[in-house]
Amino acid sequence: MLLQFKNLTIRNADTDDARQLAKWWNDGAIMAHAGFPNGTGETAQEIAEKLQNDTDETGRRLIIEVDKVPVGEMNYRNCEKNTAEIGIKICDFSLHDKGLGKVLLSMLIASLFDDLGYRKIILDTNLNNARAQHVYEKLGFRKLRVLENSWKNQLGEWQSSVDYEMYREDFVNFAK
C-alpha cells in the first residue's frame, strides 16, 4: 500500500522500519493506551520477522510519514469476510490535536473500501481515549458497545474499551 495526500504518506512497513517500530513500541508513553505502559519489550529483530509475514490479503503494518519523516503507524487486518480491523498511532506527540488522524484515517479507510473491496471496517479503543472516539465518530464510525473492565493492562489494571464499526455509506472522507 502506498497512499499520498499533500505532505502525508502511508506506506507498507518493511524490515528497514523494524528499528523505528521497536523504539515506538518500547516507549511506555506511546503504548500506554494499548495496554503497555512499560512498552511491549519486542526487539527490532522480532518485529522484522513479523513484518515479513504481512500480506495485502491478511493485513499490513503501515508507516505514517509527514514530509517523508516517519511519525507513526497504522495497520489493517483482514478479520472476517469483507471486514477489516484498523488501528492508528501518531507517535510524535507534537503532531497530536492537529487534525492529522482524521485525514490519515480517511486515506486508509478510502483505500480499504475502494481499492481492497472491504465492506465493513471495525476498531476498538480504550474508553479513556476520548480524543480518538471523537475522531472516529466524525469519520462515520458507529459506537457498538462499551465493554467495562474487559481487559487488564500489563500492570494488571482493569481497562474498558469501546467497539466501533463503519460501512461504506457511513464514511465521511476528510482527505479529498
Q: Closest Cα to residue 90, out of 115, 108, 112?
A: 108
- How would you list the strands of the sheet with 83-90, edge to edge? 2-5, 8-12, 59-66, 69-80, 83-90, 120-126, 158-167, 142-152
Name the band, by pLDDT with cuts 50, 70 and 90, for residue 174.
confident
| Number of domains, the chain | 1
Domain CATH code at residue 65: 3.40.630.30
In a domain, 48, yes or no: yes
On the question of pLDDT at 165 being above 90, the answer is yes
Q: Read off the pTM.
A: 0.93
And the C-alpha cell for 154? 500489563
On the question of pLDDT at 81 being above 90, the answer is no
Domain that holds residue 56: 2-122
The percent of residues above 90 in pLDDT, for the chain, comes to 88
In a domain, 174, yes or no: no
Name the band, by pLDDT with cuts 50, 70 and 90, for residue 175.
confident
User: Mean per-residue pLDDT for 114-125?
Assistant: 96
User: Mean per-residue pLDDT for 137-145?
Assistant: 97
On the question of pLDDT at 176 being above 80, the answer is no
Using CA atoms, how far apart are residues 165 and 175, in angstroms rounded to an integer?
20
In a domain, 173, yes or no: no
On whether the CB atoms of residues 141 and 160 are closer than 8 A, the answer is no
Coil vs helix vs strand at 23: helix
pLDDT per position as a tens digit, 82-108: 999 999 999 999 999 899 999 999 999
In a domain, 139, yes or no: no
Coil vs helix vs strand at 7: coil
Average pLDDT score over the chain: 95
